[in-house]
Structure 1
Amino acid sequence: MNRALSAITINIGKAGINDNVIEEITRQIKAQEIVKLRFAKGISSEKEMYITQIVEKTNSKLIDLRGNVAVIYKKKR
């Protein structure tokens, strides 16, 4: 089974991202290696900026982006 299909999904709403969202993404990526981020349709214009911030702050990699869903990955150490 594809691991991305079973990855936890974190929804990013109109409020965007803040320290709490980054902390939750960091926790999930440490546990799962792969996390899906689903962005609200209303923030699609800011999506690229949010993805860049999330990848930088969590030290992860963007491995897929389709529509409003991004998949990030960080190998467990």
Structure 2
Amino acid sequence: MSQSKKEMMNRALSAMTINIGKNGINENVIDEIKRQLDSNEIVKLKFAKNIARDKDKFIDDIVSQTRAKLIDVRGHVAVIYKKKP
């Protein structure tokens, strides 16, 4: 694991977690993720078990709509990062 990825994962331990429920993502969820990325740079996304099989599609959609970078996926949790402007 590269040094910067290690640092990111250490920061992710205390990052804001956004729960993605059975309804998946919508404009409000994307807006909240953008707000959290603007203030914290790193956000954890926790997917409900009943939508976890579709999480890769949701992650792709979130990353593209927020212009964030996917750092890690473990189980039902994804970590994304976007540098502050």
Q: TM-score, normalised by structure 1?
A: 0.97
Please report the RMSD computed on the Cα atoms of aligned residues, expressed in angstroms: 1.0
Q: Does residue 84 of structure 2 align to residue 76 of structure 1?
A: yes
Q: Which runs of 5+ in 2 are unaligned?
A: 1-6
* Larger Rg over CA atoms: 2
Shift >2 Å, 4+ stretches? none
Question: Per residue, is there more helix in 1 or in 2?
Answer: 2
Of all paired residues, the percent bearing the same amino acid is 65
Q: TM-score, normalised by structure 2?
A: 0.88
The partner residue of 2:34 within 21, 26, 30 is 26
AA matched with 2:67 = N
The partner residue of 1:42 within 41, 50, 53 is 50
Q: Does residue 5 of structure 2 align to residue 5 of structure 1?
A: no
Q: Which runs of 5+ in 1 are unaligned?
A: none
Whole-Å separation in 1 of the counterparts to 2:30 and 2:12? 20
The partner residue of 2:25 within 17, 36, 58 is 17
